[in-house]
Structure 1
Amino acid sequence: MNLLLVNVISAVLSLVSIGIVVVALRRAAEMIRLGKSMAEQIAASSANLEQALAALKTEHDDFRDENRKLDARLEESARAQRDIARSVDLMGRIRTELQGDIRALHTSISARNTAAATVAPQAASAPAKAHIQSKSSKLPVFVRRTVASATVTDNTAAFS
C-alpha cells in the first residue's frame, strides 16, 4: 500500500505542478499580449510625436521666414522713413529759398512799380529775371521755372 500511496501522492503532485505550469503559461501569454499592445501604443505615440515634431519644425521654419520678411520690411520702412525725412528737409530748404525769392521778387516788383514812371517795363523786369535765375540754379529741377507774373498780398503769392 505504500507504493500505491506514493503513486497517488506523486500523481496529485504532478497534477498540481501541471496546473501551476498551465496558470503560469496563461499569465505569460497575457503578459506577452500586454507587452505587444504596449509596444503598439508606444510605436503609435512615437509616430505621433514624430509628426508633431515635423509640424513644429515646419512652423519654426515658417516663423523664421516670416521673421526674415518682417526684418526686411522693417529695414525698408526705416529706409523709406529716412527718405521721407530727407525729402521733408529738402522741401523745408526749398520753402525757405522760395520765400527768400518771393521777398526778392516782391521788393523788385515794388521797385519796378516806383521806377515804372521813368523806366520802360522791359528794362525793369530783366534784372528781376536774372536775379531769379541766379537763385534758382541752386534749386532742384522741379522748382526751376519761369514766373511770368506774380501777385503778392498779405505774405502770400499767386504765380501764373
Structure 2
Amino acid sequence: MDDKPKYKISEAAKILGISVHTMRMYEREGLIVPYKKSTNQRLFSDKDIERLRCIRNAINEEKISIEGIKRIFSLIPCWAIVKCSLKNFEYCSALKEANRPCWTFKHENNFCAEKDCRECEVYNIFNDCEPIKTKLVELTFMNSIKVKEEEIK
C-alpha cells in the first residue's frame, strides 16, 4: 500500500464519504497523524485512507467509541515494540497514562524524542483492518516470547 502523502483533506474525506470536520476531529483525537507540509496543509496517503477505513469500521460495525479506540491504542506495548531502555521509562508519559496512544504525547528526553510518529512501527500497527482483539493478542504473545527468549540468554 502506498505511503506517499497525496490527498488533500477534502479529497480524503470525499474518498471516505465523511466530512472534513470529521477528519479533523479524528486528527484532534489522535486517531490519525496526517503528513503536514511546511504550509501546514494536511496530506493523506493510501495507507492513511485504509487506517481511517479501519477506524470507521471499528466505530460503525464493532460499535467502539472514539474514546474506546484511543484507550485500545494506548494499550499497545510501545515500549516493547521500539525496545525502550528502563531509563526511557522514567521520561515516557505514554507509560504513565492509559487514555490515549503514545503518538499523541510530546516526547522529550526519551527514545522517541527524535522519531516521526507517522513512520513509527507502533503507529502503523493498526493500518490494516485486522480485528483489534486479534492484533492485541498477537502483540502480547509476541512480546511474551521475546521476554522468554531474553530470559534463556
Give me the TM-score of the superposition, normalised by structure 2: 0.19
Q: Using CA pairs under 8 Å that are at least 6 residues apart, name the structure with larger relative contact order, 1 or 2.
A: 2
Give the TM-score taking structure 1 as reference length: 0.19
Structure with bigger helix share is 1
Asked which structure has the greater CA Rg, the reply is: 1
